[in-house]
Amino acid sequence: MKDIDYLKKYYDGNIEDAIKKLENGEPVQYIVGNVDFYGNKINVNKNVLIPRFETELLIEKTLSKIDKNKKLDIIDLGTGSGCIAITLKKLLDCNMDALDISADALKVAKENAILNNVNINFIEGDMLNPLNKKYDLIISNPPYISENEDIDEIVYNNEPHIALYAKDKGMYLYKEFIKKSKDYLKDNGLMAFEIGYLQGKELKEYALKYYSNVEIEKDLSGKDRYLFIKK
């Protein structure tokens, strides 16, 4: 009933057709075509992950840890819909880069940047490889679900698997980012990640091999959800 009420409020097309899509297992956000993320309208389709509240909290926590009194160089890795990059660009004085391996996702992100009237440098590429500068902030909500993990059917059947699953029990990308990050992170720079709730202990131990200032923070459900690393 909650999703049907959402459709009736926000969907512009034939509501009966929309309800059929909902009954066939399509997420309401894809049917409507957009979500509210941190007060911003973000268009979504099956090429991008649906932004979630946990990622809004990642932004909130990150904002409390950075120096907002200077112009910042920021990179959003695995930008997807662009929701993180767009939100930070609107809130901060910054040069914003946003990277994704998916050309289809970048198309959505670029449209969202225009929709929200922000200037972002979008980069198509894999992990840190295309980058040639250092950043004050590296932020990411990367794929972190283990390849053999069961997830909700509606997520599995609709959202892009490239944005959901990763090797090494879901931790492959974090470890690659951390291992290679010293070449891309300024002194006193911050890395901020959303993580799977069972990954905190192992990722903290891994990060401590490279950095001494490593924190795990919890989401509103009291689960490990965020990894912060200061250079």
Domain ranges of the chain: 50-230
- Would you state the pLDDT for residue 2? 83
**Residue ranges in the chain assigned as alpha helix (H):** 2-10, 15-23, 28-32, 53-63, 83-91, 103-115, 153-158, 172-180, 200-207
pLDDT attached to residue 146: 78
Q: Which residue would you say has higher pLDDT here, 151 or 16?
A: 16
- Would you state the structure tokens that stand for residue 53, as one six-digit string? 């509240």
* pLDDT tens-digit series, residues 22-47: 989 999 999 999 999 999 999 999 99
Instruction: Give the tens place of pLDDT for each residue, 70-129.
Output: 999 999 999 999 999 999 999 999 999 999 999 999 999 999 999 999 999 999 998 898
Whole-number pLDDT of residue 124:
97
The arrangement of secondary structure in 50-230, i.e. its CATH architecture, is 3-Layer(aba) Sandwich (3.40)
pLDDT digits (tens, 9 = 90+) for 130-188: 999 999 999 999 987 877 777 788 887 888 887 776 788 889 999 999 999 999 999 99
Residue 94, token pair as written in the block: 């910054």
pLDDT digits (tens, 9 = 90+) for 197-222: 999 999 999 999 999 999 999 999 99
Which residues, in sequence order, are bridge partners of residue 227? 193, 216
**Cα–Cα distance measured from residue 103 to residue 184, given in angstroms and rounded to the nearest whole number:** 23
